[in-house]
Chains A and B, each alone.
Chain A
Amino acid sequence: MWVRLWRDPVWRAVFFQVLLILGVVAVVAWVINNTLTNLEHRGISTGFDFLSQSAGFGIIQTLVEYDESQSFGRTFLVGLLNTLLVSFLGVIFATILGFLIGVARLSSNWLLARLASTYIEIFRNIPLLLQIFFWYFAVLGVLPSPRQSINFFDAIFLNVRGISLPWPILDSGMEIVVWAGIASLVLAMGVAGLCRNYRRTKGRPLPHIKVIIASVIIGLPLLTAWLTNAHLQWEMPVLRGFNFSGGLVILPELAALWFALSIYTAAFIAEVVRSGIESVSKGQKEAAAALGLKPRRVLSLVVIPQAMRVIIPPLTNQYLNLIKNSSLATAIGYPDLVSVFAGTTLNQTGQAVEVIAMTMAVYLTISLTVSVLMNLYNRWVSLVER
């Protein structure tokens, strides 16, 4: 009877799976049990109560209001926002640089193509951490002190404490202008949609449409600025004592991380872009040219739409890598999620399990959300084959 059950694949599968579940449960129970005893011996309490306790340490860059008296929970938010900031900046810069280099790699100019591939081969084969250190210690760390700042037009100052830039002051009039700018963009998008529809039904484009859209985007904010009599004012960085105050200061930690992340990721994005463009077969371009499309239209109507289908999934992967790699911030002290929360907060509270679990959960949520969106996108753009 047992032998017969053993030879039945269905029963055997059930048996193995039950065994696996029991094994996993046993290991997890063992680990939990050990952890609880160990924590008890070290006198560390469990649970998430520590999140409401006062943190008592300062953070050098905060996007939301924060001071030492606020809670550990608040440090989580501050760290998370700093991670998102550097990731956002990095994604934008890496995309621009990556696309430029990817296209340059395919240029018919031999020198340009060689230089682009040299860039790719150098930067993707050197560890990111080393590149971050290079920017932080060897480039930004040897800049002069604030008093001897490198000065661009008396507005931008480069020194060892960071980069000081002028920053616009938004008074009430200016705020209306900004809103008008956003409204004009929305309006322009609506107009563009209408004329696309017009062209699709009537078969010919609306005349002067580009001029109309441009005048909406530029004209509406200008008009409101004139009506409300608002002036754009800039807060300039000024040297006070030993440091600059006023304006926007980009910390050297942020700048080093931003440059290194963008330059490293751009090398990978360039390869993605190159393979995407190469994936569009030559026949497509020739057919488009035979239909009388000009080279620019061939690129924008035939090559790019097809290349993007190939480019976007691996491109998203590179963005995810960039977000995960931003955690290297902790090595140079940029206050990101890992550095602030899994670093300082963990050391102060000793709540290793809870802190690491929360940190991992953040990255996991970002990754899984993006991959779900990616799957939807893939289904949306995938070729419908007969």
Chain B
Amino acid sequence: MEQKMIPAREPPVNSRGILGWARENLFASPSQSLVTLALLYGLYLFIPPFWQWAVMDASWTGSSRSDCTTEGACWAFVTARLDQFIYGFYPDSEIWRVNLFFAQLAVVLGWLMIPRIPGKKMALVIGLLVLPVTSWLILTGSLLGLPPVETHQWGGLMVTLVLALYGMLASLPVGVLLALGRRSSMPVVRTFCTAYIELWRGVPLITVLFMASVMLPLFVPEEIVFDKLVRAMIGIVMFQSAYMAEVVRGGLQAIPRGQVEACQSLGMGYWQSMLLVVLPQAIRLVIPGIVNTFIALFKDTSLVLVIGLFDLLSIVQAGLNDPQWLGSAVEGYLFAGFVFWLFCFGMSQYSQRLEKH
């Protein structure tokens, strides 16, 4: 009689390792195999030529299109104009100020987003109150005694970030107020907030920007002159706060009524209970939603092109019309698209990770 356990035999070769995985996930049935082979053939047709064009045969430096003598992509268009794409028409001697702005942004965002670093409340206060003020002072310069740089000299990635940052920071508090107003028991306040939110959510951003750039100067006395960038910001904030309000309202609805009732039984007033108990919980719930609206806003900043501001996309677009670089459209759009994609994809990965936790 057998005294020992018979050792387990290895599974058959075709059901383990790479082979087993491929059998299960790529060639499970004849029709699946057909699909897989067709897709592989499609990738074979597309990827090697693209790689050849974009990397192997590409020219990387040069000062005009005629310097690109190879068959492939002419990345010289991007490398020659990289400074302009990032800083716009900001004076060369003052570019350190823009870099300082980028650095501030990176430090505060890193502080907020990396869970291991302590002091999130401090970071939030700095991000919401200090950062916008210092950034504006550094970038405009005149109040700090630096050489003033007018906003029409700003451009490129810097304007994209400025618009997205200020649009976000200003729309957050307005959105919270609107969300509270829409859930208020006072009928006038509720109607007013609902009408405001539905009005801006119902129209395209482009009409809002047109309105901000054409009609805003009509709405105020002639002595008050807004510059173009500020007008665009006002339009973006009006629009964005409506979307923000709906996100925050989602969070408010998820907080059980017992929380407010507990506050009332402790003798807290409306603002106390909202600010100290309900909002902190509600906002924490909707951080992924807030990040998603921020992604949408970040993409939407490219629309300021139609009112003549130079964000990243429109400065690339302007560069393409330069007679020296005619025919560089594909390279220019691939570069701009990649930069936008990097920011948006990064943020959406972050928000998905938050949702999982």
Contact = CB atoms under 8 A, between A and B. Distances in A.
Given A16-B189, A110-B25, A324-B204, A125 B345 contact: yes
B201 interface: yes
B207 A327 contact: yes
Contacts of B320: 137
Interface residues of B, number: 54
A137 B331 CA distance: 12
A353 B186 contact: no
A328 interface: yes
A352 interface: yes
A121 interface: yes
Given A13-B185, A111-B39, A125-B348, A356 B333 contact: no
Interface stretch (B49-57, B142-150, B212-220, B278-286): B212-220
Contacts of B341: 122, 125-126
Interface stretch (B106-114, B118-126, B133-141, B296-304): B296-304
A342 B220 contact: no
Given A16-B186, A352-B214, A363-B207, A38 B222 contact: yes
B330 interface: yes
Nearest to B32: A109
B215 A353 contact: yes
A115 interface: yes
Contacts of A110: 25-26
Contacts of A352: 214-215, 218
B207 A342 contact: yes
Interface in B322-357: 327, 329-330, 333, 336-337, 340-341, 344-345, 348
Interface in B267-285: none
A13 B333 contact: no
B329 A137 contact: yes
Contact of A134 (B201, B295, B337, B344): B337
Contacts of A363: 202-204, 207
Contacts of B206: 327-328, 330, 338
Nearest to B222: A38
Contact of B26 (A31, A34, A111, A353): A111
A212 interface: no
A331 B330 CA distance: 18
A354 to B, nearest CB: 11
A167 to B, nearest CB: 31
B151 interface: no
A24 B344 CA distance: 37
Contact of B340 (A109, A126, A325): A126
Contacts of B306: 330-331
B60 interface: no
A296 interface: no
A367 interface: yes
Q: Of B26, B198, B218, B220, which is in contact with the most chain A CB atoms at under 10 Å from its CB? A: B218
A366 B201 CA distance: 12
A324 B203 contact: yes
B317 interface: yes
Contacts of B313: 127, 129-130, 133
Nearest to A320: B202
A121 B28 CA distance: 26
A363 B201 CA distance: 10
B219 A34 contact: yes
B221 interface: yes
A16 B189 CA distance: 9
A241 B337 CA distance: 39
Interface of A: 13, 16-17, 20-21, 24, 31, 34-35, 37-39, 41, 108-112, 115, 121-122, 125-131, 133-134, 137-138, 141-142, 324-325, 327-328, 330-331, 338, 342, 346, 352-353, 356, 359-360, 363-364, 366-368
18 contacts: A38-B218, A108-B28, A109-B25, A125-B341, A125-B348, A126-B341, A127-B302, A130-B302, A137-B329, A138-B330, A141-B329, A324-B203, A327-B206, A338-B210, A346-B210, A353-B215, A360-B207, A367-B201
Given A13-B186, A41-B222, A125-B348, 20 more contacts: A31-B220, A34-B219, A34-B220, A34-B221, A35-B218, A38-B222, A109-B25, A110-B25, A111-B35, A121-B345, A125-B295, A128-B299, A130-B333, A134-B330, A138-B329, A331-B306, A342-B210, A346-B214, A356-B214, A363-B204
Across the A-B interface, give the 5 residue pairs with the lowest CB-CB distance, nearest first: A367-B202, A110-B25, A125-B344, A17-B188, A324-B204
